[in-house]
Structures are given as structure tokens and as C-alpha cells.
């Protein structure tokens, strides 16, 4: 989200978010004057909060109430106004090293222990997926034209399991659409390119294909195939019985945001009975910032595609064995979340598990 704020607007938005995170009460100018050294008058704060409200970053739950952050306000806060807590990151690493006994415990017990430590330190529901141990490799891949403007991607593994996906082929200039024979020829060239670069690789590594090596005239297929390949690999590698270690439910559900019993029930149903949906969500962002650190994904409120958690924030990161993603660690809590701490907890835990599994 691209919103350009002045330094004063940034300071007042940051103070509003921090105060609301602490108190769970709508924030007025008087509270900011008393709690923060903003160096401006109460009238100036009210004026700036009005601008932030018009920009969709704050809103009033009631006409006479103060303001609280919107999902967009939290997004700006996370993306532009904070840095994860380095102190807490070190505390997480120390706690995991001290309390987890890799030589003596089963893998499930280790991840349960890690989840409990993270729940205690973050105050959130902690989610850690069991690592995927599949060794499935790509045997063959084929692109087939099935009708005008529609193609099918077919993936065959070394165990001869087949997975497919139908896609719409959006051509840039529909008036000059190539003949079916030309499209077939292009699809065969792209299929040959993919097989040359991917055959024999683990399905977990398919997402790292260097598309820049594909000739310019075929790039339209590359853009279309990127997300489809990732989706197919997740579908192929999803465990038959999804297992996610869940800890910290009791503490989070005591927060005022979860006072409605129906909301609690839908979240509990997701955590207990619909883990496959959650598994796909927290395992889909297998990206890297650099060679050693996992990218942390923060989904705030309505950014979550799963309806039961659209009033929550989900923060997750992939952990790896070497360069291969094998599982995910995440925290789930209200949008009124201590983001500096929660992001640090997830990043540190993912890095620790990656190092341990490698």
C-alpha cells in the first residue's frame, strides 16, 4: 500500500497504534499528549488524526469515541514505522537452545516444545507445521492447449503421480491471436525449457526456476506459470493428514477482541478441524530475503483469505533444510498485536529451526 505520510503524520499514527495496542481503548488527542512526547499541541494532533482518518488509516468505532487503527493503518505501521525487536529475537534463540533437547526428544515433542516457548514469549497462538519429508521429484511436465485461450499444465512425479491445472491464456492482443498450431508449437518449446531445467529436481525446488533464461517471446507463458507451478507443488506435497502444532490458545482467547463466542468457535474449528486450509496458507510463502534468513509474511485482518481469521493477524515464515523449504512457523493473534515482538519471534524461530534441520 503506497501512502506517503509526513514525519508528523508518521509519529502520530505510530503513537496511536502503540497506545491502542497497549490499552485496547480508542485513542484521543489527550491520551497522546499525556503518553508521548510528540512536541505538538492537542489541536494539531486532532487535525492530523482527522487527516489519517480520511486516508483510511484510522477510524472511529463510535461518533464520540477516539480513533483506532484500521487494517491499512496497521499495514503502514508494520511496513514503514517499526523494526523487529532484536532483544526479543536473541531471547527466543536462547530459550530454544536451552530448552529443546534434540538428542533425546522425538521430532513431534521438539516442535511441541518450540511452539509452547514461542506462545509464551509472543502471547499469541503459535503454529508450527511438521516438516515435509517427501522426496518426490519431477519426472515430466507438459503444457497442452485444450481449447481456445485455455491450456492445461500437467506434472508427473517420479512415482508416476499426476497433477494438473487448467489456466486461461490471456493474450496481450486478442485481435492478433496466434493460430492453434502456433500456440501448440510455443507450448512445446516452453515445455522443453521446463523439463530441461526441472526434471529430476525435488518438487520443493520448482519455485526457484530462473525465468530470465526463457526467451523474451515466451515470457507471457512464464508469468502465467509461476503461481500455477507453486500451487501444484503445494497440492502434490500436502500431507494426507496435515499436522500443525498449536499452542497458546487460552491466553489469546482472553483478549477483548474474542469476546463473541461465535467468533471463538469459528477460529477453534479452523485450528482443530480444518488444518489443511491453514497449512496451505502458512506454507505458501516459500521465499528468501537472502541466503540465511526466511522472509516473514504478515497478513493483517482482511488480508487473510480464510474467513475465520479476517479479524486476526497471521505472521508466518518458512523454515528450511538447506535451501529447501520443509515447514512453517507462525503466530496468530488479534490485529491489535505487538508487531515488533511478534515478527521478531517468528523470524528468530524460523532461522533457528532452519539451522537445526540443516
Q: Is residue 47 part of a domain?
A: yes
Residues 278 and 353 in one domain: yes
User: What is the pTM (predicted TM-score) of this model?
Assistant: 0.73
How far apart (Å, rounded) are the C-alpha atoms in residues 123 and 333?
Answer: 8
Task: Kindly report, residue by residue over 219-247, the tens digit of the pLDDT.
Answer: 778 777 877 887 777 666 665 556 899 99
Q: Is residue 291 part of a domain?
A: yes
In the DSSP assignment, the letter for residue 161 is -
| Residue 1, pLDDT score | 58
For residues 131 and 251, the answer to whether their CB atoms sit within 8 Å is no
Instruction: Indicate whether 351 belongs to any domain.
Output: yes
Q: At 132, is the pLDDT very low, low, confident or very high (cuts 50, 70, 90)?
A: confident
Which tens digits make up the pLDDT trace of 286-308? 444 444 455 899 999 999 999 99
Domain that holds residue 186: 137-237
For residues 296 and 315, what is the distance between their CA atoms, to the nearest angstrom? 7
Q: Is residue 2 part of a domain?
A: no
Name the β-bridge partners of 69.
Answer: 58
CA distance 127 to 122: 12
Q: Packing angle between helix 107-122 and helix 339-357, nearest 10 degrees? A: 160
Q: Are 201 and 138 in contact (CB under 8 A)?
A: yes
Q: Let me know whether 122 and 246 are in one domain.
A: yes
Locate 105 and state its grid cell. 526428544
| CA pair distance 202, 320, nearest whole angstrom | 14
**Which backbone phi and psi does 36 adopt, to 5 degrees?**
-140, 145
- Domain count along the chain: 3
CA distance 295 to 297: 6
Amino acid at each position: 500500500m503506497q501512502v506517503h505520510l509526513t514525519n508528523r503524520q508518521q509519529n502520530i499514527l505510530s503513537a496511536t497504534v502503540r497506545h491502542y495496542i497497549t490499552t485496547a481503548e480508542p485513542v484521543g488527542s489527550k491520551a497522546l499528549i499525556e503518553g508521548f512526547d510528540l512536541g505538538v499541541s492537542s489541536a494539531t494532533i486532532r487535525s492530523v488524526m482527522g487527516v489519517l482518518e480520511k486516508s483510511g488509516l484510522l477510524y472511529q468505532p463510535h461518533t464520540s469515541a477516539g480513533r483506532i487503527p484500521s487494517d491499512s493503518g496497521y499495514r503502514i505501521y508494520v511496513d514503514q514505522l517499526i523494526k523487529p525487536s532484536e532483544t526479543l529475537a536473541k531471547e527466543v534463540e536462547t530459550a530454544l537452545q536451552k530448552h529443546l533437547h534434540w538428542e533425546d526428544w522425538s521430532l513431534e515433542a521438539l516442535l511441541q516444545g518450540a511452539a509452547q516457548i514461542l506462545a509464551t514469549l509472543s502471547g499469541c497462538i503459535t503454529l508450527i507445521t511438521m516438516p515435509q519429508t517427501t522426496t518426490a521429484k519431477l519426472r515430466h511436465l507438459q503444457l497442452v492447449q485444450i481449447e481456445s485461450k485455455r491450456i492445461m499444465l500437467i506434472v508427473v512425479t517420479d512415482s508416476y503421480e499426476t497433477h494438473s491445472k487448467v489456466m486461461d491464456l490471456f493474450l496481450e492482443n486478442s485481435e492478433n491471436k496466434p493460430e492453434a498450431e502456433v500456440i501448440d508449437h510455443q507450448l512445446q518449446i516452453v515445455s522443453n525449457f521446463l523439463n530441461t531445467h526441472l526434471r529430476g529436481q525435488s518438487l520443493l525446488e520448482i519455485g526457484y526456476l530462473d525465468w530470465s533464461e526463457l526467451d523474451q517471446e515466451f515470457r507471457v507463458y512464464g508469468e502465467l506459470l509461476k503461481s500455477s507451478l507453486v500451487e501444484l507443488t503445494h497440492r502434490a506435497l500436502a500431507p494426507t493428514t496435515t499436522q500443525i502444532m498449536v499452542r497458546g490458545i487460552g491466553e489469546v482467547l482472553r483478549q477483548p477482541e474474542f469476546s463473541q463466542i461465535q467468533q471463538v468457535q469459528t477460529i477453534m474449528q479452523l485450528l482443530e478441524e480444518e488444518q489443511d486450509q491453514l497449512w496451505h496458507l502458512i506454507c505458501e510463502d516459500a521465499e528468501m530475503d537472502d541466503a540465511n534468513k526466511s522472509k516473514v509474511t504478515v497478513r493483517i485482518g482482511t488480508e487473510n483469505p480464510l474467513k475465520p481469521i479476517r479479524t486476526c493477524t497471521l505472521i508466518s515464515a518458512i523454515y528450511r533444510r538447506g535451501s529447501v523449504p520443509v515447514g512453517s512457523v507462525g503466530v496468530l493473534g488479534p490485529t491489535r498485536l505487538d508487531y515488533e515482538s511478534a515478527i521478531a519471534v517468528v523470524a528468530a524461530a524460523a532461522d533457528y529451526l532452519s539451522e537445526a534441520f540443516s
